[in-house]
A and B are shown apart, each in its own frame.
Chain A
Amino acid sequence: MIRWDAKNIILWLVVLVLAYLTLVPLVMLIYGSLKSSPPGVSGAFTLEHYAALFKGREMATALKNSLVFSLGTSLVAFFGGLYLAWITERTNVPLKAAIYATLLVPLIVPGLLTTIGWMLLFGRRSGMLNLVAMRYFGLEQPIDIYNMAGMIWILGTDQIPLTFLLLTAAFRSMDPSLEEAAMVSGATMAQTARSITLRILLPAILSVWIINFIRAVENFEVPALVGIPGQILVFSTEVYLATRQVPTDFGLASTFAVVYLVIAAVGIYIYLKATKAAERFTTISGKGYRPTTIHLGGLRYPVALLTLLLSFAIFILPVLQIVWSSFLPYFMPPSVAALESLTLDSYRELFRFPLIQRAFWNSFLLGLSSSTLVMVFTAVIAWIVVRTHWRGKGVLDFLAFSPIAVPGLVLGIAILWVYLTLPIPIYGTLWILLVAYVIKYLPYGMRACSSSMHQIQKELEEASAACGASWGRTFVRVVLPLLLPGFVAGWIYVITHSFRELSTSILLYRNGTEVLSVVIFELWDGGQYPELCALGVTLVVILSTISLLARRIGAQFGLERAMA
């Protein structure tokens, strides 16, 4: 017999909403992959799409390429993020704020723009890096980035900030007494890092790594812009090529998505196994928990400068290239002639469209509401999954994580069909986009909340309950504040990424509900690069402001104590 108190009602509501959000599109997807005709047209059930998928010998190559690409990308992102998180969180290097600032940039800039930035930097005759390499470093041939190494570099570096953000949250809430104990017992810094720090952070590390891996499998921009010209085809570009012919073969697209799902399910399985014993790593307790910092001594300035320089080259340079290009009439190497032809035409051209202002407003509304909804929602789910002994919690975790496996394009198709079929009149409104964004960012909110939740000991909640607080009160007054670093990190992540979200929005937007990423894509698709760069610059300015404001507000809650 279920007691219908507030806790149970909320619990069941969450379960129902989550199941509706994630399962209905998934059912559509599997149904579509087995159907001989597009949605809306009657047809028979068939396995022909699966046969077509695995028939081509290209698939083996594509899977191998995807694996190499995703492994490489996740390694670059992981070690880059780990290094930066460790340096800024746990050592006493100066200039932390500057390093943070460089890291915010790629978090904000849409992947499409960063990719274009790198492509321009490595242009054969107009690329700045190649000009420098050939003139000053005696390179005979320009560096070619249209290969696997180039792809890994571009996406790997683009994902460093996400890794950094998630690892930082974990670092911040780690109990330092274990490390101190190791140091006191005579362990060296490396030994401590290896056998204490790394192990405590294992759940966070694994989940971050899996997110990176799957995001790389799913990524489209880099394999399309860099891989296809270099003849390196991965899974996502094979999907693209398979569905390039009009009209789109929805059956085949859905089949690809189902295969994605399987890959992701394997990832989640590994993740769940690894975090099963998460209790062991619980490190936020009722005790004081400000981690101590490691003193680098005389090395602190050289390390800080080197880190800053590298961060600048990796994160800022491609963006500077975009800024530079936004003032040029066409691609030109930096020169006197180029300086003379600098112009504001692209910006003028851009703001001629009333569409742009509307898109800014829509993106802002959607970003704000989807990030808040996702974070509150996943905080509750994470609590259920981590804290309760409810039997279905594994399913809940899986459901909240499953959208990560659905490529945006297919999520778009699935949602489109759900709402063209069911009599819920949100097709063509901002609501359908909101639904899509919430689904899409559930996994990220979930990871941010559950890694933090894992580290909060039950005793605090028990103390609150013992003092007579209701479940709701405990959740709002005890759990949420402790979750806050992870919560805010996740919130910033979702809002900035919602501004970048493209593959789903492109199918769901209509007149009046255009969002910025769609406008960016349309400019790219229409080849209006200078305007694209101009819009990119504007977007970066706005998103930086939002992030800084969020951090400022976060600081009110003690989030930034370590940063000052």
Chain B
Amino acid sequence: MTRMKARRMVGGWFLFLLLPAMLAAKTVEESLAELERLPAPQRQRLLVERARSEGRIGWYGNYNLDQATTLKDAFEKKYPPIQIDYWRGSGNKVVDRILNETRAGRWDVDVIFAGDVGTYILMQAGVVGRYRSPERMGYSARSVDKEGYWSGLTFGPSILAYNTKLVKEAEVPKSYEDFLHPRWRGEMAIDMEADRVVSAWLILWGEQKTVEYLKALMANKPIVRKGHTLLTQLLCGGEFKVAPELYAYQVTRMKREKGCPIDFRYPDPTPASITPVAVAKNPPHPFAAALFVDFLLSAEGQNIFAAVGRIPARRGIKAQYPDISNIEERGIKLLLMTPEEEGKWQEKSFKLVEEYIVRKRATE
């Protein structure tokens, strides 16, 4: 083999290796730019046409399999032959996976559900692109990002839950303070990753009062378990009587669909997270990704979120059950926390959780 030939082969290899990076070099904004200049009907036609020719969507998310499957099926049915590849992991795993792949120059992800903190971290890492879906018109200013990095899909109010068989009506806790009562000693439970509610306390009360409250709460010997869904199930079985930070939609589902003897109260104000959807910065299928995000934010998509038990963020879309519908209209004050806010408070709340809940320092 001549040296020339060898060199050409090496060069060819390099080109081959660089190919994916070169293809992915276009950001989602650049890819969709021509789209955004068109009037609405043409835009929609072109979007669907391009999305169909792309044919696939890489969706990485932390949603339950059954909920994700329902969303996926509805979309695939509406826009054949587009196929969604859903990869599920916890919020952390979604973040790790995207960072790992993109650092290696691999862009397989189009649409991201990484939770609020996860989305914030991905934004900081520069792997999230901007997409301002026209469907964002139907949302309040706080539930979508001004810059277009994320759009809120659902709300996650954190509520005070209790077992209706084991707790008398008069004794039902109505505020965080009520959980310090000696009657709940060893009879309440908290998630070992209660970062979210702790962030809310930090926002509401400041650091000093939050630490004092956490110490007092832990002195009342709560049972510490991992996972809000598990805690909700354990509350059904009467393993403990009350829980200060379960999720409204989970408690409602168990109560309504499985006939669990549990119920809840909204604290004032009620901390609520926003579940954001984001698009990767260099998505392999930008048009299909945009079409899927539009679908998720549309009234049709939001009704599916409602049907799987979530609390839709779009104005005017009711949740499936009255317990979690029209929350703000009923005069319940929500402390809506954006991914940025959660992201910023997360470091502090993570430390407090680790110190007081996981290691139970200073309470023994």
Contacts and interface: CB of A to CB of B under 8 A. Distances in A.
A241 B354 CA distance: 8
B117 A246 contact: yes
B226 interface: yes
A150 to B, nearest CB: 14
Contacts, number: 125
Q: For chain B, which range describes its interface: under 10, 10 to 19, 20 to 34, or 35 or more residues?
A: 35 or more
A38 B99 contact: yes
Contacts of A420: 100-101, 104, 106
A248 to B, nearest CB: 5
A186 interface: no
Contacts of B327: none
B228 A527 contact: yes
Contacts of B69: 352-353, 355
A233 B91 CA distance: 23
Interface in A328-362: 329-333, 341, 349, 352-353, 355
Interface in B251-272: 254, 258-260
Contacts of B360: 231
A228 B104 contact: no
B18 interface: no
Contacts of A512: 85
A126 B238 contact: yes
Contacts of B103: 38-41
A510 B99 contact: no
Interface stretch (A2-10, A256-264, A390-398, A518-526): A518-526
Interface string B27-56: 000000000000000000000000000000
A229 B239 contact: no
Given A355-B65, A528-B64, A331 B236 contact: yes
State the main secondary structure of chain A at its contact with B. loop
A225 B230 CA distance: 11
Nearest to A225: B226
A421 interface: yes
A92 B169 CA distance: 63
B280 to A, nearest CB: 16
A127 B108 CA distance: 45
Nearest to B236: A330
A149 B343 CA distance: 39
Contacts of A355: 65, 69
B350 interface: yes
B107 interface: no
Interface string A235-267: 000000100111110000000000000000000
A527 B106 CA distance: 31
B66 A528 contact: yes
B244 interface: no
B233 A529 contact: yes
B55 to A, nearest CB: 14
B66 A527 contact: no
A40 B100 contact: yes
B92 A244 contact: yes
A233 B95 CA distance: 26
A125 B234 CA distance: 10
B358 A529 contact: no
Contact of B118 (A246, A349, A417, A527): A246
A241 B357 CA distance: 12
25 contacts: A38-B99, A124-B239, A125-B238, A126-B237, A126-B238, A228-B192, A246-B95, A246-B96, A247-B99, A329-B260, A330-B233, A331-B233, A331-B236, A331-B237, A353-B66, A417-B100, A420-B104, A522-B88, A525-B227, A526-B229, A527-B230, A527-B233, A528-B64, A529-B230, A529-B233
Given A124-B239, A229-B226, A420-B104, 7 more contacts: A40-B103, A229-B224, A246-B92, A246-B117, A329-B260, A420-B100, A421-B104
Interface of B: 17, 64-66, 69, 85-93, 95-96, 99-101, 103-104, 106, 108, 117-118, 121, 125, 192-193, 223-230, 232-234, 236-240, 250, 254, 258-260, 350, 354, 358-360
Interface of A: 38-41, 58, 123-126, 224-225, 228-229, 231, 233, 241, 244-248, 329-333, 341, 349, 352-353, 355, 416-417, 420-421, 423, 428, 506-507, 510-512, 519, 522-523, 525-529
